[in-house]
Amino acid sequence: MAELITPRQRVRELAVAPQRIPIEVDGAVAYEVVLTLWSVCSDKQENVNFDMGPEWFDELVESTPEDLREEFELLGGPHCQVWLSILGLIAAAPHPHDPESVFNWIAELNPQRLRRWILGYIGDQAAAHGDAGAPSMSLIEAAAQGDQEAVKDILKASLKPDQVEPMTELFEIDPEQFRDRIATGLRRFREEVFSKYEDQFSKAIAAAAAARRSIASRDNAKDVIEEVTNGLDYEIPLGVTRVILVPSVVVRPLSLIDRYRDSLMVFYGLADEFISLNPEAPPSWMVRFYKALSDEKRLRILRRLSEGDTSLDELTELLDLSKSTVHHHITILRAAGLIRVQMRSDKGESKCYGLRPQAIEDASAFLESYMRPHKESALA
C-alpha cells in the first residue's frame, strides 16, 4: 500500500451501500500487534505523521532482531500487503481476539485457506483501482491450491510490474511452511518487541472501544466513520454488510480504512483521554491544531476551503507547489481535524476536500477550558 494515512477503498461495485449497516467495535490488542509490526517494515517516511513520533518508531525498529525484520520484509511482500491482509484475518478469527488465541488459530489454519485469503485480498486491488475486475473465485481457488500460473495471473492483474516477481516468489514457499513462518513471526514479535507496550496499549484500546461501543449503534455507519476518522466523508461501497471499528494507539491521529470481502474495517486513532498523559500538558490534538495554523500555506488552504470544497489539483494550482507538498499540508490539516475528505467511489480514487468550521469553534472552547484552571490558580 502506498500510504497508510490515506484511506483506500476496495470496491467491487460502483454503487454506494445503504447506510444502515451493523457497526461492531473490536477492542482487541491483536490488531495493534500487527499494526505495530507493519510499522517496522513500512516506509520510514510514513511514520513522521503519527503521534508516537519518529523516535519511537526508530526505537521500535532497533529493538526488533535483525533476522525478524528480514523475515517481516520477506513475508510481507511489497508494501507489507500480507501483513495488511492479516488485519482482516483477525476479524475472521473466532472470539476472543486476544493475541495468543488469534495467533494460535492462525498456526492451525488450513494452509490453503491462508493462501486463499491473502490472494483474495491482493486480487481485490485490481477492482479497487478500477483497472480490471476482481479475479474470479475459481482463479483464486486454483491459486490457493498451488497453481502458480493462476497466482501470476492474479498478481499481474493486481500489482505494479516490479512487485509481481517478489510476490510470486513468496507464493512459491511451501504453503504449510509459509503459514508456520507467519504464525512464528507474529508470536516472536509480540514476545520480543511488543510485550513492553502491550499492557498500556491494551488498557487504552479496551477503554476506547467500550466508550465507542456504547454509542456506535445510534448513528448510521457513514456518520460514525466521519466522526472516528476526524472528518473523512467516506462512501461505503455496495457489498459491505458490516463495519468494524478498531481503535488504535499506533496510528494516532490518523486512520486506515480497508475492505476485507464483505467487511469494512476502520482503524482509527483513539482519543487522548484514553492514554495516560501529564495532567499539566495540553492534549496532543490541541497542539496539532495550533501547529497546523502556524503555516502561511495551510492558512491559505483553509481560506480557500471556506469558499467551498475543492480538489488537490486546484489547491496545487492555487499555491503553486508540488502535489506532494500540498498533500503534506493537507495531511497536517486532516490530523488537526480542520478539514474533511470526501471519497468518491464512482470516480475511482478521487477526493474532495472541505472545511470543518465546527472544529475551529470547538478548539477555541477547549483552549479556554484548558487555560481556565491556570487563570484561577493565578488569581488565588
Other residues' Cβ atoms within 10 Å of the Cβ of residue 36? 25
Grid cell in block for residue 90: 483477525
296 and 375 together in one domain: yes
Burial class of residue 115 in the structure, from the number of CB atoms within 10 Å of its CB (0-12 exposed, 13-18 middle, 19+ buried): buried
User: Residue 371 has what pLDDT?
Assistant: 73
Grid cell locating 174: 511451501
- Percentages helix, strand, coil for the chain, rounded to the nearest 5? 60, 10, 30
In this structure, of 67-71, 86-90, 209-213, the range with the lowest mean pLDDT score is: 209-213
**pLDDT in the model for residue 6:** 37
Q: pLDDT digits over 130-161, tens only?
A: 555 678 889 999 999 989 999 999 988 888 88
The answer to which of 80-94, 181-195, 365-379 has the lowest mean pLDDT is 365-379
Average pLDDT along the chain = 83
Predicted structure pTM score: 0.76
Which is higher by pLDDT, 203 or 348?
A: 203
Q: Does any domain span residue 180?
A: yes
Three cell numbers at 131? 483497472
Residue 13, C-beta contacts closer than 8 angstroms, at least 6 positions apart = 237, 238, 239
Does residue 201 contact residue 32 with C-beta atoms inside 8 Å? Answer: yes
Q: Which of 151, 183, 218 lies at the terminal end of a domain, its last residue?
A: 218
Residue 271 lies in a domain: no
Give the pLDDT of residue 13: 36
| Alpha-carbon gap, residue 89 to 326, rounded angstroms | 35
Q: How many CA atoms lie within 13 A of 269 on its CB side?
A: 24
Distance, first Cα to last Cα, the chain: 55
Q: 332-371: b or e for each residue (b if 16 or more CB lie within 10 Å)?
A: bbbbbbbbbbbbebeeeeebbbbbbeebeeebeeeeeeee
Residue indicated by cell numbers 478548539: 363
Total domains, the chain: 2
Q: Is the pLDDT score of 259 beyond 80?
A: yes
Q: Reply yes or no on whether the pLDDT at 3 is more than 60.
A: no
Residue at a domain's end among 195, 218, 241 = 218
pLDDT for position 201: 94
Same domain, 295 and 153: no
Closest to 212 (Cα-Cα) out of 250, 260, 266: 266
Q: What's the confidence (pLDDT) of residue 344? A: 59
Specify if 225 maps to a domain: no
CA distance 286 to 364: 10
Co-location of 38 and 186 in the same domain: yes
Q: Is 21 exposed, middle or buried (0-12, 13-18, 19+ CB in 10 A)?
A: middle
The domain boundary residue, chosen from 192, 218, 244? 218
Q: How many residues does the chain have?
A: 380
**CATH code of residue 304:** 1.10.10.10
**157 lies in which domain range?**
29-218
Percent over 70 (pLDDT), the chain = 82
Q: Which pLDDT does position 189 carry in this prediction?
A: 97
Q: Is the model's pLDDT at 124 over the cut of 90?
A: no
* Same domain? 213 vs 283: no
pLDDT: which is higher, 79 or 246: 246
If asked whether residues 114 and 213 sit together in one domain, one would say yes
Q: How crowded is residue 316: how many other Cβ atoms within 10 Å of its Cβ?
A: 16
pLDDT given at position 279: 57
Longest alpha-carbon distance in the chain: 78
Residue 78 inside a domain? The answer is yes
Residues 6+ apart with CB under 8 A from 192: 64, 65, 68
- Kindly give the interhelix angle for 30-41 and 195-213, rounded to the nearest 10 degrees: 120
- State pLDDT tens for residues 26-69: 999 999 999 999 988 876 656 667 888 888 998 999 999 999 99
